[in-house]
Structure 1
Amino acid sequence: MARSTSGESVMERVLRIIEAFDVSTPVLTVSDIARRADLPVATAHRLVNELIELRMLERDGERRIRIGLRMWELASRSSRVVRLRDVAMPFMEDLHAVVRQHTQLGVLDGDEVLHIERLSAPGSMANATYVAGRLAVHACSAGLVLLAFGPEDVRERLLARPLRRYTPATVTDPQQLRQIFADIRTQGHFLADRMCIPNAVGAAAPIFDANGDILAALTIVVPSDANRIVGHIPALMTAARGISRAVGMAGFSLMLPMASDAKFLAIHRNSRP
């Protein structure tokens, strides 16, 4: 594959162009793309035009660029994330009918939880995340559950460096986090009381793939009332176990990491007008 004078391949530059789009900026000019992708304008212009010809990107009437429909089509044909969402949705809908706030499905992507689905009711509290939104893995219930049941080397790598404190309740001490991980493995869930944002309480339970490996986390989020969410934890755990069983019955393994699938879909999902 042809490389630039910097040694970077065309594929690497194309990926940076695609990743220039995010939730807050689903539509960009070529100059915006060049700046965000750290490319010369001429290079960005050439690659963007080629991606438009391939229908991976689209240009609107004002010559602004957005992610193309074909990208979503290709990602959806065999993506494990799509299959997971399809399996999980009936259980999430039942759980959401009980909670009537936020019900979320997240996977681990590096040091963050990437949320691939969320159900919310009209009038629900403001939430820190959204579909294709990310939260720091150590600061939310889903992330701590994913870490607790994941590989030890992933946990230790995270604990080896300074962790950001998002609220006074965010746990950043390695020894405290190790105890939390042990408690999660014993209890099968975790309740995060205002760890990420001051006015929200979240609870998460693990979802396992057909091989028994941690796959995702199912989360409910309600206003800052820990007593209220405790009553929903049995329903949360029942739904998570149901999704795990359904994944197993479907006969496929969705073992993490799924980051490539999740990123590809997330970019498209949040680049629509």
Structure 2
Amino acid sequence: MARLKSFIWLVGIPLCIFGMLDRGISIFADNYVSFTEFSQVFVISLLLLIWLYLKPGNLSVAEEVAGQGYLTNLIENQDKLYLSAAQTRMLELKDYHLISQRHILPFPYLCQIYHLLNLKHLEMVHSFSLNDLKVVEVGHLRPTRLGGALKFKTILDSPLNVLKIWRQPTAEAELVLHTPYTIELKVPAYGNKRIIVIFNVVPISHKEHELLIDIYSNLGWPKSLLQVLLHAASYLTLYEDLPYLARLSQKSFATLTKASSHETMSLFKRFVDLYSSHSCLATEALG
């Protein structure tokens, strides 16, 4: 029953977004905003906000991690050292927490790790949602005891790119591998503000994993507006990810590691160097 509720809730998100886009396109096509059209957009936006608030089991992952209520599954699947590192970072950011999402995906854990540590996937997989963002310069890997950090420069080619509402056309982002299960993406915004995404990837079985997404920001926007925008963006990128993850699941671990020589894959290479013999990969045998 819980899975059914979550599925129905998930289906409602793109339906609301489609309705908003449809009404928005209609308004721009007419070059005139009638009271009826404005009312329709307002009602759909309000419905989306309420729908997001009514998420089944609506409890933030950050709150659960802080309260120790969620940790049973993680402790069973992760070494306590890695768990502590993830906890520490999330607690550092908790005052800026905006949204949490939890997804169970029918793909091996390694597929998600490869996907998140591959900088080029921002161009290849998310060309629509990121409006043709380009990775143009990759810095040197800064190794840490449990992972590493990598800064990279991105540009927004399109003059109409919606991301320009909160960041410069050229900006430096950072990807951090905290543990074999926790990855952080730091996205710059105007005025030295940031949007930070924490991904926790938890193996469930040989062909299934749980993806936990927590997003934090110190942007000065209204919190409710930011939550709606970030939920919508997160679901859109997840839908874009699914075909890519399916393709990755058909590749062998050896094939994936061979592709890690490019500079955009240096964090994945670091992951392989550190954890190729770790228990989290010992049972991974991608088809």
TM-score, L = length of structure 2: 0.29
**Higher strand fraction: Structure 1 or Structure 2?**
2
